[in-house]
Structure 1
């Protein structure tokens, strides 16, 4: 089973207060460049209907890898785990820019209606200062396109506001994220929250009794002891010799899978420097059923990021200028953004459904098994088939922290 959750929020203040970061209305244009096709841009060929959500997926994937590379290059992430939800972030950016469109509406619809065997919950919320009145159209658009709900908070009593907002976030993420907000400024007038919660069970479960201690090689000088799960069975697998990488697909019941990208020893930096959505498509097309003796760590990790500076480095320069225009949110008060935060959590263990567990009772000669050990840093993706979306992605450098 894998449990994942994510939260991203924006804090708004009146521009009369002193701010470190501000956002202007050109975020719409900047975000369009990063996340959406231009009017005449060609789309990759897909079999079947070219659905609105499929038009978003290539640009969202480009955004995901650009953001990953920026995060991976930051000094404070060296040697650490990276984990985030590119889908949640791109949806939150479109909420902020009021880029409400049928693509995201259709995406949410598809995700909600294609998860018979998965639990996937995506939504938003607006915590509004008592007495502050956002535009009716803004609130209606947030509710209609992003399933957002508005609730009243008294930011003038920050410690109470922190408790109320954390309570909402904990509820929406099934208590996986309980202390997202550490502090608030009394000048805050609104907070936009976007959350995603995912819970899936492996099609083929790992047996708890087969889990044992094993070594995980963080780097050439560091080895940690982990609970290493083990299963013998068929997996979609591909070894990409040209890119020094093993790729393993672990399907969940339903329409999602975990893709493990395991670079050869010492090749992580080279792989993550060049990886793109084209690699994911290539690997997905190349994997084939292979009988594996698979060893994979059982782990729980979380990662938090302040995204303001990173987004500016990605080209959203104008979006963080002194002339922020959020008149679509409020025509009465002049607003600007003071903080952009993101947090994501990932937990992986042996669990699966009873039906899936029954299919693990396979017997085969050990000589036919190809031993694959996920015992060094790897990239992880959780992808949804119907919408062709990367729900979560990251790098697990050390599964014990």
Structure 2
């Protein structure tokens, strides 16, 4: 969203880090937003009673500019078309109005994420110098076709500690295996959302490094894994811990380490947003939540960016996730990853 208004070296770096031309990325976001908005519609139209609740998913954008800021009309149109974001106004000049703006943005995020993401922007994060706040909010909720079985079991954490946890058992569909990992997927009712569960062959870092190296080669790495799961009909006996985890981090440092330094410097060029805008990125915040239980999964993620002035066959395979593993919720027709994370200790909730 910010990159659409970047120019010069600022835009070049952002496109390099985000992996594509900004207009193309915006079109991709628009397409994914439309696909997710339709998730569960077919199931709801059948109006069947007694079965699992149809899945729901949404990806929406929000934008707020400092009151009186002359945002370019073409940038407003890009936000609305690509991200469904209508540009609102806040007033950050006085403490009371600034706090009211912060509460307004946080309330919008909470509503869009089914109350899973709260206080995305903490007190004090907005200052009198902020000129634009851009927010992306994702929510996914889906039930398993049949409930999983909950039992007690053990999980060995990344540091070797054995913890007693609730384990969920059932039959997953699809199998993928390569030199770095093996994986299966839990489909949800309707089949439009799935949860990939990935067990590293050696370590999680090795898997992520292999995916990073293959990222620009279609049909390899994570792309190959998701395609392999979609093309496999193997039934997999699965055991996985129940999850209720959250993640909260500032992304300024990671983005700059990836090479997006110009956007965070006083010399950044965001004149595509407003003529003569002497702005730079001041803060990028992200929160994510993932819950997995015997009935289904629910996930949400929100990112805020601020610019500052200057009945199946018997299982054929078995996957027991009783040590650190990766999770990835994705939309099945586009294979677009929605929420990803790694589980080192499922007993931790934050």
Output the TM-score relative to the length of structure 1. Answer: 0.68
2:72 to 135, 150, 167: 135
Rounded to whole Å, the distance in 1 between the matches of 2:280 and 2:80 is 22
Query: Is residue 208 of structure 2 the alignment partner of residue 272 of structure 1?
Result: yes
Alignment partner, residue 159 of structure 1: 99
SS in 2 for 1:107: helix
Tell me: CA distance 1:218–1:104, structure 2 relative to 1, closer, same or farther (3 Å). Answer: same
Task: Tell which has more relative contact order, 1 or 2 (C-alpha 8 A, sep 6+).
Answer: 1
| Gap runs ≥5 in structure 1 | 1-8, 11-22, 39-93, 354-358
Please show how residues 88-167 of structure 1 align to structure 2 within 5 Å.
94=22, 101-113=26-38, 115-116=40-41, 117-155=54-92, 156-157=94-95, 158-167=98-107
Q: Conserved in 2, the CA contact under 8 Å of 1:24 and 1:322?
A: no
- Counterpart check, 1:175 vs 2:115: yes
Q: Is the 8 A contact 2:235 2:313 kept in 1?
A: no
After superposition, residues 293-372 of structure 1 pair within 5 angstroms as 293-331=237-275, 333-351=277-295, 359=311, 370-372=317-319
Deviation at 1:201, TM superposition (A): 1.7
Q: Equivalent of 2:128, from 182, 186, 192?
A: 186
Kindly report the root-mean-square deviation, in angstroms, between the aligned alpha carbons of the 2 structures: 2.9
Looking at structure 2, the residues matched to 384 and 250 of structure 1 have their Cα atoms a distance apart, in angstroms, of 12
Unpaired runs of 5+ in structure 2?
A: 42-53, 298-310
| Distance in 1 (alpha carbons) for counterparts of 2:105 and 2:26 | 27
Does structure 2 conserve the Cα–Cα contact (< 8 Å) formed by 1:100 and 1:141? no
1:121, distance to aligned residue in structure 2 (A): 0.9
Pair 1:129–1:111, CA change in 2 (3 A): same
Tell me, in whole angstroms, the C-alpha distance in 1 between the residues paired with 2:191 and 2:237.
24
Query: Can you list the C-alpha shifts for 1:156-212, whole angstroms capped at 9, x where unaligned?
Result: 223322222211111111100111111221222221111111112223431xxx312
Aligned mates of 1:115, 1:291 — CA distance in 2: 24
Distance 1:228 1:115 in 2: 28
Answer yes or no: is the 8 Å Cα contact 1:126–1:148 preserved in 2.
yes
Per-residue deviation, 1:106: 3.0
CA distance 1:254–1:193, shift in 2 (3 Å): same
* Partners of 2:242 and 2:293 within 8 A in 1: yes
Question: How has the CA–CA distance of structure 1 residues 27 and 291 changed in structure 2, closer, same or farther, with 3 Å as cutoff?
Answer: same
Tell me the number of residue pairs that the alignment of Structure 1 and Structure 2 aligns. 306
2:187 to 244, 247, 251: 251
Name the residue aligned to 1:392. Answer: 339
Q: Tell me the distance in 1 between the aligned counterparts of 2:343 and 2:25.
A: 34
Matched, 1:283 2:225: yes
Q: TM-score if structure 2 supplies the norm length?
A: 0.77
* Match of residue 308 from structure 2: none
